[in-house]
Chain A
Amino acid sequence: MNVDQLFQLLGTVTVVVPVLLFTTIGLPMLGGTPWGEKMTARWTQVAVLTGLGACLGVLSLMLMYQRYDVPIEFGHWFALPREHTHFHLSFVFDRLSVPFAILTYVLVGVIGAFASRYLHREPGYHRFFLLHSMFLMGMVLATVAGTIETLFLGWELIGLSSALLVAFFHERTAPVINGQRIWSVYRVADAAFLVGALLMHHWKGQGDFEVLVDHIAWPVGHAIITPNQALVAGLLFLIAAAGKSALIPFSGWLPRAMEGPTPSSAIFYGALSVHLGTFLLLRISPLLDLSFLLSACVFLLGAATAIFAGMTARVQTDVKSAIAYASLTQVGLITAEIGLGFRYLALAHIIGHACLRTLQLVRAPNLLNDYHTLENAIGARLPRRPGLIERSISPQMQLNLYRFALERGYLDAGIRNWLVRPFLGFFKWCDSMEAKWTRLLSMSPHTHSESTPHSEWEEVK
């Protein structure tokens, strides 16, 4: 077996194992006879270890043979030669995807082991592990994706599993509402992503990153589209990244995501999922090099998010929200780093940050104990002083800043007021116009589209 074949084999294993895991757990559930708790955990363990082994194998081969850009092809699925468009499934192992894939496997594996005990005897145990494997599948597909469509596939799987895990305790209302909230933010991000991907297809006839970066291994390489094209596509991808990574103005969903069980919160919103937006930015980083304006936008958005989240984190009074905003602060910084062009720094930052937050979130219920231990070690109450900024501004500014932070920047209210309401209003208007038209055309007085409680009320009146 030569090196290429070995690469091919290991790469295939990396990608296929999560898919196998998902079907192994999912199919018996579909048939109504899920595996036992132990077997489910065992399958997850085996899959993660295999995938991790393969990943590490790829890494060592890459280091040994100094090859930093290894594509794995799964063939062309369709091609429309006249339209110069084709779709093919391919994966790429490079300096960006391999560390990310390894990180994914390690964290998903650890959380799997954690959850197998944490969720013991929980009625949703199997559902959790199914979504967990779906998440793993999505993460791996997205990280090693060689085309924008494959990345989108993984991206969607992650979104779906996230939303469902937030709504894990679906017998209560709050998780369901919050799950839906996240889902709708993700849809906005997805829409932007999809339009961006379409544009790239439109311009280049394919969505392969190879073309984008002109066959040079990440992070160098330059995009072969015009700067203006790069700006447009890049801005769309930035919106997508902002939605996925909870950057301004979408930050409101991050604390809401803490409704799920602790382990899923840890891996999604502390570690992997929240970094996916930044990963996308890293992946399309050649676009950033093309357009200074785009880089500036990325930097500004990142910096603004970091400052906003840093401030908000200071006033959070529950441990999970505090960690969520702390996490967001760093995601903002990472985004800013990407905007400034520090690719490796951003990558290292992501990996370190993901590990740290996972540990912190997983240990979040230990907070009382930790504080107690710290108090005992220090021998007094824990010092709690207002920060430099708080001390150096006027009392009225302090109040304003505090309120801004406590209300989480009014982002949710703002979105609701200035985006969702006009949007809904417009469609309601369309709806009423449609109803009028239908009435006019059919000459019948009672043609209503779906009636809301509101309109019922009006009718009664």
Chain B
Amino acid sequence: MAWLKASPLQERASLFPGPETGLTRSPFDSNGLPPQPSNANGLAPLSNDIAIRLTCNSTGIMAQLNRSTSTRQQELPQDIAAVNHIAISPHTEGSADSTPHAASIQAAIEHAAHLLPSQGPIRIFIHHNTLHAFEDEPFEDAVVHARDVYGCNPYIPENEYRKKYASGRIRLDDITSVLKEDLGERADESIAGVCTRLELRAGMLQYPLRTGTDPELRWLIAETDALSRFSTDAPTEIKEKMIEETRHWVMRDFAPRSEHSGQRSASRHGLSEGLVAIIHQLGGGKIESWSETKWESLTLHLLWQCCRSGVHGIERFQPRETTSLRLREPLRQASGIDIDQLLNDNLIPFCAAFLDQGISHWPLPNRNQGFFRAYIELYRNSPPIDPWRAELPSILDRINESGETPLQVIEASLRELGVPESQWDAYLTETLLCLRGWAGMLWQMETNAEWTVAPAPPGTLLEYAAIRLLLERIAIQWVLREVLKDDGDLKTARKRVLHHLRHDPKVSVEQRSFTVFQLAQFLGFTPELLAGLSKDQWTELVREIEAFSDLERRRIFQQAFERRYRNQTLDAIITHNREPAPPLPPPRIQISCCLDDREESFRRHLEEIAPDCETFGVAGFYGVAMYYRGAADAHFVPLCPVVIKPQHYVREEVVYPLETSSRIRQETRKALGRTRHWLHTGSRSILGGAMTALLGTVASLPLVMRVLFPRLTSRTHRLFTSLIRPPMMTRLHLERREPAPGKENGHLGFTLDEMVTIGRRVLEDIGLTRNFAPLVILIGHGSSTQNNPHESAYDCGACGGNRGGPNSRALASILNDPRVRHRLAENGLTIPWETVFVGAYHNTCDDSVTYADLHQLPFSHREHFEYAREIIDEARRRNAHERCRRFVSAPLSITEEAALRHVEARSEDISQVRPELGHATNAVGIVGRRSRTRNLFMDRRAFLTSYDPTQDTPEGDILERILSAAVPVCAGINLEYYFSFVDSAGYGCGSKLPHNITSLLGVMDGAASDLRPGLPWQMVEIHEPLRVLFVVETTPEMLTKILNRNAVLRRLIENRWVQMSVLDPDSPEIQVYQGGAFHPYQPESSEIPEVARSQDWYRGWRDHLGYARITPKETVPTQAQAMESAGVS
């Protein structure tokens, strides 16, 4: 993990070239080398444009950014575009006319807002692409572009890729074929006559190039065996060849002559004096009889000398130009004072107070007047204690009296700071990105949080920008005047400050020559070859090496890594499909789960245990988009994907006979709740606190119990709460009488027509329109964890970060309804009367499964149900066991029973920061019939969506609606994990350990930091950053048709945010989408390990596993089957 902590700085160097960044720059950057003009490689036309702008002026990034956001808006789906419009609020619009630049400032704020993290209140965690704002750029450009904006890593560090290379997770042929594809015709061009570009780049990827500071390198050369032994990474044959050729060369061209003092040919290369010195240094004597080691040393000495003289005098290529427009960094270097630190100390508590949803007992005064007014009112009369803010009260007073609007304040600040109008946009963006977590939350609360306790009024972000700029102006003024004793004009301060700062170091000869020196050893550039190069050729060589920068190498590595996993996956699927699957008995149980990758293993185990069990995968809200309120809940919560806004309200109600007892329990709950709340708030006050504290010794009991015996404690707790929980017998208020849906009685639920539509749609989606089993179990899922602010991130993504139990229950009720069945049958979808649907809920953390409405189960189906429960219980045990292989704290030798206990304890343990591993390792999305992947071990890495191409319309309507839900959802999850992994500190929220819940909206590190969106390291720790690979069972033509219709899908796929391939419905052939078209995939291998059961494959192994085929040799009957077969016979 160490590298991850260091890495953010490494990348951040690009944005803020400061003194500390010099220490941590990545190897190649420390050469002072330009990173490859990263935007310029193999891109769509738009981005070539960017590259040019980038090199032209320093504001290019921002300018381009704004442009791209504005073009994006036209393409956005309606709902998102709608959100964008809210920003122009009535509140600020009125004042917009008062300044001529109002509109442009407002537009700038909106543009900037798109770059802010779009995570809303953490209570409902919705996975989304961290770089959603960049989606209309190709992935490789977007990550670099985002690096320039946020200063975050685009890929994992190079040495991590090298580890994967060393362990065979990336192979040489992956690297070369990716390089070939990347370079195209440029691959075979010769570089300075020493090798081809492909060879050079492959070599640079294959072997680690080390570098250091100049003194380090000088020490290395002088004091280590760098000049006497070849690098240990150098291949032996190259080493031998180089020594041999050098010996030959020296003997031929130098040795005889130097002995006879005829030095003509030697002086041509300026080598002779050096050579003589080296020969003497190595002991002199008769060089013909020299030992091999002496020759090795001589070779290296010569090589080093060639390299040094070769790179000498080559100028620096394209200096990096990404200077910040803000004065913060120059001022920090000049004065040692970080103005952002000053500002943040004031703004973080204020933002938190402004947004607070209920942690503080005393809400911010004047909050309802908006950010700007509240700030002014609060600080207008403040006595100046912090010297830098001494002027603030008088300035605020002036604003208050003159009635300036936030827009006017922004404009005044920009003018006073001397920002030219052309840069306002960029400057505002940079300003908002300073504290991007908080700014993002302000924006979210302003635009997207009407359901919270206290949403922010419109215009909040703009008002925040006004205050922030005002403070910035004051702080800069103060630093200039008081610390730097500079009384000049603020507008021209930038020039004065910059003038005195140190300039970027010159390019280092040591570093350049050492790089070539190493490469020569790996690729076999002999001293003779290098000595013969002209200056132009040397320039070409160095330029070429430096063009393949750290960033470029990581890009290629990433693609090679993805290629390996893609080929493994496709090979496995093809091989698996080549042999006909063994015939299966007609299904006795059908089980449908969410398409979640965590259900892959669960389904696999179910099928392994019972060949007569058929499983399906579907988006876990089961088509029932609703606001739901449970019998013991206070509020309605939306249970559906975020892109859908539910129209219907459903409540769970206690059955009529139990209503009285329910009411008593409810009153008890209420009384207990009030007491607890009183204790909670009281413990923070003076007198109440004294009372609770005096009795506090009692608290040691739950403390000790909870920490030492989590499972026992939670059982006791559950036993106790079961007395006050609503009675078990409840039902959903599903059916509506009134025409209009709403929250009130009579308006709750769906009409019969709506129910029919929902039922029909889900069954068609998963292709379950015939061959119904007598019992169909629909399982929703969620996760219960303790002490975990990110709890919602483990819940069902298709239910908008909530628990999907009510959805499966609702669908089961709908499909059991005879009227619905009747109507379905009229339309040709006949569900046999013998088939019964049961809703269930799978807790993916403790692997429990609970069933709904069992009291309605017909007597005829008891036996089926008991059979199903046996299978499910066995599958739970096996699933828990498979999951435990990933938990280091569970021994590898754990039994299935113990594994189940282990995961149960995890979910109830308050000290557990990894209650489950969530979607970590997700990498594949499969859309197709289960029969194509049944019995394929996919290591819990695949989203499995059921789809039957044989039942689709000729236009692919069903596939389109499946893909338009599944692809964005899976890509959102996948990319959020990708970015939270590649830069845990920048895109993710770092380690969970110091997290601190703030304003009930998010987490901070410690007591005052920026708000931290993204996933914590503990969640993504074992993830592998791979873009999700979709395998869709359809024809290329069909998919192309759909892509032409659907812009959202097209954007994700064409810009390579997801990888797409199609599996032919009738044959095991796969075509991969690349460069705008589908290309047939040639399998690399046709072997796949075969095992009798999953456990035989994963047992004893904690790391990632490849694919395997599960062929139950002789089905060992489980307890369930044994009982069953006994019962039948």
| B-binding residues in A (CB < 8 A) | 106, 110, 113-123, 168-169, 171-172, 174-175, 178, 255-263, 306-307, 310, 313-326, 329-330, 333, 348-349, 351-360, 362-384, 386-387, 390, 395-396, 398-400, 402-403, 405-407, 410, 413-414, 416-417, 452-454, 457-458, 460-461
Contacts and interface: CB of A to CB of B under 8 A. Distances in A.
B578 interface: no
B994 interface: yes
A167 B993 CA distance: 13
Nearest to A258: B1007
B850 interface: no
Contacts of A370: 680
Interface string B862-876: 000000000000000
Nearest to A390: B362
Contacts of A373: 673
Contacts of A117: 889, 909, 911-913
Contacts of A330: 689-690, 693
A113 B336 contact: no
B697 A307 contact: no
B46 interface: no
A368 B997 contact: yes
B1128 interface: no
Interface of B: 1-2, 5-6, 122-123, 333-336, 349-350, 352-353, 355-356, 358-366, 377-379, 381-382, 385-387, 453, 483-485, 500, 632-635, 666, 669-670, 672-674, 676-677, 680, 683-686, 689-690, 692-700, 702-704, 706-708, 786-789, 791, 888-889, 909-914, 985, 991-1000, 1004-1009, 1021
A174 B1005 contact: yes
Contacts of B387: 417
In the A-B complex, list the 7 residue pairs whose CB atoms are closest, starting with the nearest.
Answer: A377-B673, A352-B696, A356-B696, A259-B1006, A353-B693, A326-B684, A261-B993
A355 B996 contact: no
A84 to B, nearest CB: 44
A259 B994 contact: yes
A378 B674 contact: yes
A93 B335 CA distance: 54
A382 to B, nearest CB: 6
A319 B1009 CA distance: 14
Nearest to A400: B381
B365 A398 contact: yes
B596 to A, nearest CB: 22
Contacts of B909: 117
B784 to A, nearest CB: 9
A364 B1 CA distance: 26
B379 A403 contact: yes
Contact of B707 (A317, A362, A365): A362
Given A380-B634, A381-B453, A453 B333 contact: yes
B336 A318 contact: no
Contacts of B680: 370, 374
A15 to B, nearest CB: 23
A369 B676 CA distance: 14
A413 B364 CA distance: 22
Given A318-B997, A406-B349, A454 B483 contact: yes
Contacts of B453: 381
A17 to B, nearest CB: 20
Contact of A318 (B122, B377, B706, B998): B998
Main secondary structure of the interface of A (DSSP, over half): helix
A110 B381 contact: no
Contact of A368 (B123, B361, B379, B669): B123
Contact of A366 (B359, B666, B786): B786
26 contacts: A110-B703, A114-B910, A114-B911, A115-B911, A118-B912, A168-B994, A169-B994, A174-B1005, A310-B689, A317-B353, A322-B684, A329-B686, A348-B694, A363-B787, A365-B997, A377-B672, A377-B673, A379-B634, A380-B634, A384-B361, A386-B362, A403-B382, A417-B385, A453-B334, A454-B483, A458-B485
Contacts of B666: 379
A361 to B, nearest CB: 10
Given A329-B686, A395-B365, A413-B385, A178 B1006 contact: yes
Given A120-B914, A122-B993, A403-B378, A368 B789 contact: yes
Most buried by B among A172, A306, A356, A379: A356
Given A121-B1021, A376-B634, A365 B670 contact: no
Contacts of B1004: 318
A399 B670 CA distance: 34
Contact of B1 (A123, A360, A363, A374): A123
B994 A261 contact: yes
A285 B666 CA distance: 51
Contacts of A169: 991, 993-994, 1005
B677 A378 contact: yes
A307 B680 CA distance: 19
Contact of B633 (A119, A366, A376): A376
Nearest to B1004: A318
B996 A318 contact: yes
B123 A351 contact: no
B994 A260 contact: yes
A101 B673 CA distance: 35
Contact of A329 (B334, B363, B685): B685
A359 B703 contact: yes
Contacts of B483: 454
B787 A365 contact: yes
Given A117-B912, A120-B888, A352-B695, A454 B335 contact: yes
A371 B333 contact: no
A410 B670 contact: no
B484 to A, nearest CB: 6
B456 to A, nearest CB: 14
Given A258-B996, A377-B670, A402-B378, A110 B484 contact: no
A399 B377 contact: yes
